Structure 1
Amino acid sequence: MTAAAEPQLVPLNAIFAEDFVQILVPVMSNNTVAELGEAIAHHVEGRRVPKRDLPKVVFHDGKRLDPSITVAEAGIGPLDHIRVEYSDDSREI
């Protein structure tokens, strides 16, 4: 049985919902995708984008990611681009 790799710092380029500013966000490789979405939202919600009471959806390479997997499991690497949107079943993301 192989030991799990040590968590690594992963700096990411990110854009949140309707924001016009791309930001650099540091996360750890063992953070979940849900935690990643919240980390990105923390820098934007209530500042440049109004906070909405909706779940967040994370996209990487055009694919919607499962919120329960880790950054490492999703194949997200340093300086990759991440997009976070609000999940609203009444519109297509």
Structure 2
Amino acid sequence: MTTAAEPQLVPLNAIFAEDFVQILVPVMSNNTISELAEAVAHHTEDRRVPKRDLPKVVFHNGKRLDPSITVADAGIGPLDHVRVEYDGSPT
């Protein structure tokens, strides 16, 4: 019988929307992509980027990720770069 791997800390390099600052954001491997987007936005929205009432999308290696999959399922590893945008923003 195999057991699921324990969630792991995954520090990510991230940039949010029109922000000019790349940040280091810790997430867990079992966080969803939607949760990852909120973790990144937490450090930027209403600080350097005005908050907008739009859903957020995450890009990794140029690919838009399904918000319901996990960080591990998306193949995102430590120190990978992700970009979070408001849905409808230019890519």
- Please state which band the TM-score falls in when normalised by the shorter chain: over 0.9
SS at the partner of 1:38?
A: helix
Match of 1:54 in 2: 54
Give aligned-pair identity as a percent. 84
Instruction: State how far apart, in whole Å, the 1-side matches of 2:27 and 2:4 are.
Output: 18
RMSD: 1.0
Match of 2:41 in 1: 41
Runs of 4+ in 1 over 3 A off after TM superposition: none
* Equivalenced residues, count: 91
The TM-score, its normalising length taken from structure 2, stands at 0.96
Q: What's the secondary structure of 2:37's corresponding residue?
A: helix
Q: Secondary structure at the match of 1:40?
A: helix
Q: If the length of structure 1 is used for normalisation, what is the TM-score?
A: 0.94
Tell me by how many angstroms 1:5 deviates.
0.2
Q: Unpaired segments of 5 or more residues in structure 1?
A: none
